[in-house]
Structure 1
Amino acid sequence: MRLIEYRPERSRQWNRAGIQLAVAGLVSLGVLGWLLVTGRLGQWGWLAAISAVTLLASPYSAVLGHAAAGRTVLDAEGITVQQPLRRRFCSWEDITSIAVTRTQARGRYYLRVRVTRARGSRLTLPAPYAIAREERHLPFEWQVAEIRRHWRTATGRR
């Protein structure tokens, strides 16, 4: 079996990252304004303000970087989910089902692949991933079919 790798679409991830970082920046500026108006900057002045902005923006950056850098790798042994802070492996024999989760919000469908393991735990793959205006998204469905085909081939399931 050849190695197959899926990555999230960068444009969507980074567009979302830009929006969320802009929101974090606005919240940080709000906090900075509040500190200035109430006179609570204290003796540290602008250093405290810059620290507050950094502290408020950092969690957003970490979460978005984690989501955008994730990938799913299929090989002869199983599925490997690689993310910046974590790497998980699931052998083909350990998988009991491969399902698609569809979440609807704001007039769009968010499609993800979820793998259920023999011990009952679930693993959501970072890719393939799709945001669609309709319930079906053919490129995503082809990728899911490819994952299921490799699973069936490796385990002899029908």
Structure 2
Amino acid sequence: MILIVGGVSGTGKSTVGKMLAETLDLPFYDADDFHPESNVQKMQNGQPLNDQDRQPWLETLASELRTWEKQGGAVLACSALKAAYRETLATQCHNKIEWIILHGSKALLSERLAARKGHFFEPKLLDSQLNTLELPVDAHVVDIQSPPNVIVKSIIARLEIA
């Protein structure tokens, strides 16, 4: 089983993804770890990524997803903001990907980003991500108001796998 926990920066993708992976006894991966250095530098400099920046990164992740699927599954934290990005990510998987999109208000996201330390994402890029986000119709969209453990329980209940 492949689960992708998506959403804009600050939604808690990594936190929820790690907890979900632990609960399901699956490995966890963070898509941020697969960005080429040029993308990281661009974001650190406050420049939003464009589709050309993202494409090689998405193709790398699609290849990794295929490998992880063959190994029994994984949970990936990945923004997956646009339908086209999600389509690219799914190109090499044979089974249906479970999409979980974390979503919250701009005020809450801004507050979280302001409190975050040691991450390369420049908080002023939040508007760019919110403008890029296309909420999918075939995903489990989860509000981030609740604590992460409550969010994970609600995801497990929605997936009907526990």
Band of TM-score, shorter chain: under 0.3
Compute the TM-score of the two structures, normalised by the length of structure 1: 0.24
Higher strand share: 1
Compute the TM-score of the two structures, normalised by the length of structure 2: 0.24
Whose relative contact order is higher, 1 or 2, with alpha carbons under 8 Å and at least 6 apart? 2
* Structure whose CA Rg is larger: 1
